[in-house]
């Protein structure tokens, strides 16, 4: 599947690099969500930057994962699963 911008919500109003988001991945498994560039559209639409945190709900039995944005540029976004 693919990232859906409407499912990514900011939880706070901190500056980029200190933001907290929640994301409902729907039918996407956590393996797809943590793949490189899954969150690339959020770089522009949500000002996603390295250091931001994403609480992601995936199809993995309703599991919640805490993801930390490791790299965020206009051409590459990677996350690390912190759980």
Residue ranges of domains in the chain: 5-81
* pLDDT at 30 (0 to 100): 93
Residue 78: both structure tokens together: 């990677």
* pLDDT at 50 (0 to 100): 97
| Structure confidence at residue 60 as a pLDDT band (50, 70, 90) | confident
- Gap between the Cα atoms of 73 and 27, Å rounded: 26
| Structure confidence at residue 63 as a pLDDT band (50, 70, 90) | confident
Calculate mean pLDDT across residues 45-58.
96
* pLDDT at 83 (0 to 100): 72
Q: What is the pTM of this model?
A: 0.93
Sign of CA dihedral 9, 79, 71, 15: positive
Write out pLDDT tens, residues 5-45.
999 999 998 999 999 999 999 999 999 999 999 999 999 99
């Amino acid at each position: 599947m693919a990232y859906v911008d409407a499912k990514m919500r900011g939880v706070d109003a901190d500056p980029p690099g200190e933001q907290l988001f929640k994301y409902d991945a729907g039918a996407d498994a956590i393996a797809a969500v943590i793949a490189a560039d899954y969150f690339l559209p959020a770089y522009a639409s949500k000002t996603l930057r390295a250091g931001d945190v994403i609480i992601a709900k995936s199809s993995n039995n309703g599991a919640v994962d805490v993801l930390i944005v490791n790299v965020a540029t206009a051409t590459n976004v990677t996350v690390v699963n912190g759980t």
